[in-house]
């Protein structure tokens, strides 16, 4: 409800002249009839430009529902962010409960709610909520946040038990969905290993002794999360190499002087921490124009 209260004005926004034309309004992939060739195009680097087949498929469904009505597309992004925010809250509450050794109380829920609210309403969330093309970010966050919640549920019960194993399977399926939505999620498996070590304290004492059943189970679990990660990374790199026309060609180091490198480094080091604290003037210097028909 808080997300809706703050972000509802996006429902009156139009498409913008910043990738919305290529990704949505003038994208033939979102307008053609359903067919196997259409589904295959979601994986084709010549049309997809990057590996996010599930996101393209969902956008095609949104196009069926709302055609090119910007209100429908913005409602889709807003709904994703609301569900993602709820997932962040649930995952934080579960992590705090495990950390302090409680099944949940008002204080833990209140701290998790405040942290999730700060994350959900932070100005850095404006771009993925208000920018139609950026819907891949909240969609990925939906899958990752709820996957992490399911992962923590598995170990709150004990992953070796039947119910814990089911939660672990839910976490894996949601993670795979995140990998297929956008490649920003590929570091998730490293986050899970850090969680095992720092929060759950479930890392085997001698993880290199493969003769132990606990060690084999631990590695098998993380390999299950790592394999789709490797596939997503490989597909993304393959897309980048096969379809270079969709990307800017970076200059070689020889074309960039030392003075320009120092200036770029200085700007990065000074502005990035500042924007985390004072996130204003974040949008590119382009007029907010609708995409021409």
What are the domain boundaries of the chain?
2-246+253-277
Distance CA(135)–CA(24), nearest Å, equals 11
Distance CA(55)–CA(60), nearest Å, equals 9
Mean pLDDT of 31-46: 78
Two structure tokens written together for 282: 């974040």
Whether pLDDT at 159 is above 60: no
Which value, in Å, is the radius of gyration of the alpha carbons in the chain?
21
Q: What confidence score (pLDDT) does residue 118 get?
A: 93
Task: Read off the pTM.
Answer: 0.79
Cβ proximity of 24 and 68 under 8 Å: yes
Distance CA(150)–CA(11), nearest Å, equals 31
Two structure tokens written together for 290: 């609708």
Q: What confidence score (pLDDT) does residue 124 get?
A: 85
Whether pLDDT at 157 is above 70: no
- Residue predicted with more confidence, 187 or 247: 187
CA distances from 117 to 5, 82, 90, 213, 275 (A): 12, 11, 12, 41, 19
Q: Could you give the angle at the alpha carbon of 250 between the alpha carbons of 248 and 252, nearest 5°? A: 160
Residue 175: closest CA among 165, 188, 184: 188
pLDDT band at 293 (very low <50, low <70, confident <90, very high): very low
Distance CA(11)–CA(76), nearest Å, equals 10
- Residue predicted with more confidence, 122 or 102: 122
Two structure tokens written together for 129: 């909520």
**pLDDT of 220-255, one tens digit each?**
887 888 888 888 888 877 777 766 555 556 678 888
Distance CA(101)–CA(242), nearest Å, equals 50
Cβ proximity of 198 and 189 under 8 Å: no
């Amino acid at each position: 409800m808080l997300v809706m209260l703050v972000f509802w004005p996006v429902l009156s926004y139009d498409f913008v002249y910043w990738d919305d034309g290529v990704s949505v309004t003038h994208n033939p992939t979102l307008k053609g009839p359903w067919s196997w060739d259409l589904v295959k195009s979601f994986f084709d680097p010549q049309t997809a430009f990057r590996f996010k087949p599930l996101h393209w498929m969902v956008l095609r469904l949104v196009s069926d529902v709302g055609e090119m009505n910007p209100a429908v597309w913005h409602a889709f992004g807003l709904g994703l962010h609301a569900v993602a925010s709820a997932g962040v809250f649930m995952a934080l509450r579960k992590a705090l409960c495990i950390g302090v050794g409680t099944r949940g109380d008002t204080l833990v829920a209140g701290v998790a709610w405040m942290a999730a609210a700060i994350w959900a309403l932070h100005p850095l969330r404006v771009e993925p909520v208000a920018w139609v093309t950026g819907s891949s970010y909240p969609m990925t966050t939906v899958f990752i946040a709820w996957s992490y919640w399911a992962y923590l549920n598995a170990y709150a019960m004990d992953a070796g038990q039947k119910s814990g194993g089911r939660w672990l399977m839910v976490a894996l399926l949601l993670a795979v969905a995140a990998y297929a939505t956008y490649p920003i999620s590929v570091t998730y498996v490293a986050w899970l290993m850090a969680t095992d070590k720092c929060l759950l304290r479930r890392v085997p004492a001698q993880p290199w002794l493969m003769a132990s059943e606990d060690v084999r189970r631990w590695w098998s679990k993380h390999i299950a999360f790592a394999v789709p990660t490797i596939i997503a990374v490989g597909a993304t790199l393959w897309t980048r190499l096969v379809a270079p026309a969709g990307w800017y060609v970076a200059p070689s180091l020889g074309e960039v002087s030392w003075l320009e490198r120092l200036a770029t480094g200085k700007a990065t080091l000074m502005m990035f921490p500042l924007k985390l604290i004072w996130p204003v003037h974040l949008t590119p210097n382009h007029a907010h124009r609708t995409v021409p028909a």
